[in-house]
Amino acid sequence: MGGVAWSCHSRIVQRLAQRAYHLESKNSWWDDWAQYQRNTHPVFGLFLYHPLHPIRFPQRVVILIGSIACGFAITNCVYLGLLEDGAEEIGGLDGAWDAYNATASAVVGAISDVTTVDVDRSAFYLLTIGSFVHSTFDMTIWYLMACFCFRPGGFKINRHCQTVGIYVAVLVVLLAIGGATYFVLLRLDEDVKNQADYEATNSEEFADGIIGDNEAVSRFSFFVGYALELVCALFLFYFITSTVFFTGILGCGRVPILGGRPYEIWREKMAKDDDKKSSRDEIDFPGLQTYGV
């Protein structure tokens, strides 16, 4: 019984480290959705994670700080136009970048025509390329912290590897904080130089309305603007995006990563069927098993 309990324990730890959508066989759709949000949400996950989860509270705080710093750096990069400058410097992307800009203009124009909301093009950049880079950063930090390949149930147990993964993740977060600080200072400098031509983003205009007419304080309105965007990202868009991936709609339930919970259930069923087939072969042909056939 001890071996069975340890095997179950190892499997849960491994699946938690992998951000599994389907944790246990007995879980319903709602059970799995709730456990996924409790274990992976950047804020709620600080306090509601599974007792066996390999990523504990201090590590989760580091992940959240890194995510905030990365998002802040990306937001300022988009505002400063570094996204466009970087794409123009890379050869062979002119056509793709022109198509992307045309799509951005069309989408922003359509939203402005259909609704009363005046959307700027930087919002489109943030929701597409910015969101992709931010999500990639978050996933990288997560897997470095979890080091799931070397957790119980993985390839092997190696505590030294886990420690190295945590140190590397902390280093990456520190670099993200340094990058965010640099881009904030750069943006403040650019705002002073181009104060007459400054165009605030939607969130900054809303922040200016909250702050008032204090010119010294309004220079930092993008902090308030980013805070508003962050709240929307964490408590609205995160649930929408994670639920879309959870349902497996993007991968029709059969594609890794995009298949979501249906893919994991399908793989679990396939594994059980293979185990049953192997057991029947051992019972029907015991002699063949002895000779390694």
Give residue for tokens 């098993």.
Answer: 289
What pLDDT does 143 receive? 83
pLDDT tens for the chain, 293 residues long, are 455 555 567 788 888 888 899 988 889 999 999 999 999 999 999 999 999 888 889 999 999 999 999 888 888 887 777 555 555 554 455 556 566 667 766 766 676 666 655 566 677 777 777 778 888 888 888 888 887 666 655 555 556 666 788 888 899 999 999 999 998 888 777 766 655 555 555 555 555 555 555 555 455 666 776 777 788 788 888 888 889 889 999 888 888 878 899 999 998 888 887 766 666 655 555 554 444 44
Q: Where are the domains of the chain?
A: 1-52, 54-199, 248-293
User: ∠ CA 109-114-120 to the nearest 5 degrees?
Assistant: 35
Which pLDDT score, from 0 to 100, does residue 218 have?
A: 54
pLDDT at 262 (0 to 100)? 93
- pLDDT value of residue 246: 92
> How far apart, in whole angstroms, are the C-alpha atoms of residue 141 and residue 145?
6
pTM: 0.77
CA distance 71 to 237: 14
pLDDT at position 178 is: 94
CA distance 121 to 230: 18
Helices and strands per DSSP (H, E), number in the chain: 15, 0
- pLDDT value of position 34: 95
